[in-house]
Amino acid sequence: MTTTKGVLFDFSGTLLRIESTESWLRAALTASGTAMDEDGIARSAAALERAGALPGGSSPVEVPAELAGLWEVRDCEARHHRALYTGLARQVPLPDPELYDALYDRSRAAEAWQPYPDAVEVLAELHRRGIRIGVLSNIGWDLRPVLRAHGLDRYVDVCVLSYEHGIQKPDRRLFALGCRELGLDPAAVLMVGDDRTADGAATALGCSFLPVDHLPVDRRPDGLRPVLDLVG
């Protein structure tokens, strides 16, 4: 049996969780200096949730036909990611057109993300054990500043981000790249993620896989700790 010498973590829903849609909207309103009454905020937040406009949040109830192509390749290029998510947000009428870009910008801010309660503890312990650590994410922007702001970057050896390579999970080439960046054979690497299809595809390359649940941070206090039992 091959000893696990490296761990690749997904980002959103695995190490950190995006804020609620209502919190996201309120922050964008504040940033743009736009006023809305409480009922309007609640209605718009619910509509944005249904539209799937918050990156890292819920998927759209229905992807508009004109955005279907972008949805499939959203994490392959930064411009695709922005175009898709601002396009989804524009399905919801808001009082100021500048809000759509303000919402997208907020979704990339460190303040919009909260680490899961055990994230720092688990990464620190893996680092202490000499385990190689990577973040491998389907994403359309640079998450490194978010890791840095929350004190996680000091434990991460590599970041493999889909938009920087033009390929996205479940494409096995992204996992292969992650293993190469770690300097390890796939059989020595554990992939941890909340998407059993996208993240679980690492097993096709020979990695092992640990699923976690994409829950609010207060409902998943120790979902990452099983990693420590699987890694020597």
Domain membership of residue 102 (yes or no) is yes
Q: How far apart are CA 196 and CA 230, in angstroms?
A: 18
Q: Are residues 122 and 213 located together in one domain of the fold?
A: yes
Tell me, yes or no, whether 134 and 212 share the same domain: yes
What is the 3 state secondary structure string of the chain? Answer: CCCCCEEEECCECCCEEECCHHHHHHHHHHHHCCCCCHHHHHHHHHHHHHHCCCCCCCCCCCCCHHHHHHHHCCCCCHHHHHHHHHHHHCCCCCCCCCHHHHHHHHHCCHHHEEECCCHHHHHHHHHHCCCEEEEEECCCCCCHHHHHHCCCHHHCCEEEEHHHHCCCCCCHHHHHHHHHHHCCCHHHEEEEECCCCCCHHHHHHCCEEEECCCCCHHHCCCCCCHHHHHCC
- Residue 159 inside a domain? The answer is yes
pLDDT for the residue 37: 97
Q: Are residues 139 and 163 in contact, defined by beta-carbon separation less than 8 angstroms?
A: yes
Q: What gap in Å lies between CA 139 and CA 116, rounded to an integer? A: 19
CATH number at residue 191: 3.40.50.1000
Domain containing 27: what range?
18-111
- Name residue 159's beta-bridge partners: 135
The whole-model pTM stands at 0.96
Same domain, 57 and 143: no
Same domain flag for 166 and 199? yes
Q: Is residue 124 located within the same domain as residue 201?
A: yes
Query: Which of 111, 137, 168 is the last residue before a domain boundary?
Result: 111
Per-position pLDDT tens, the chain of length 232:
579 999 999 999 999 999 999 999 999 999 999 999 999 999 999 999 999 999 999 999 999 999 999 999 999 999 999 999 999 999 999 999 999 999 999 999 999 999 999 999 999 999 999 999 999 999 999 999 999 999 999 999 999 999 999 999 999 999 999 999 999 999 999 999 999 999 999 999 999 999 999 999 999 999 999 999 999 7
Residue 1 lies in a domain: no
- Give me the pLDDT at residue 1, please: 58
Of the residues 111, 131, 155, the one at which a domain ends: 111
Backbone angles phi, psi at 213, to 5 degrees: -90, 135
Domains: count for the chain: 2
Residue 2 is predicted with a pLDDT of 75
Assess whether 70 and 131 both reside in one domain: no
The reply to whether 141 and 37 lie within a common domain is: no
Indicate whether 105 and 120 sit together in one domain.
no
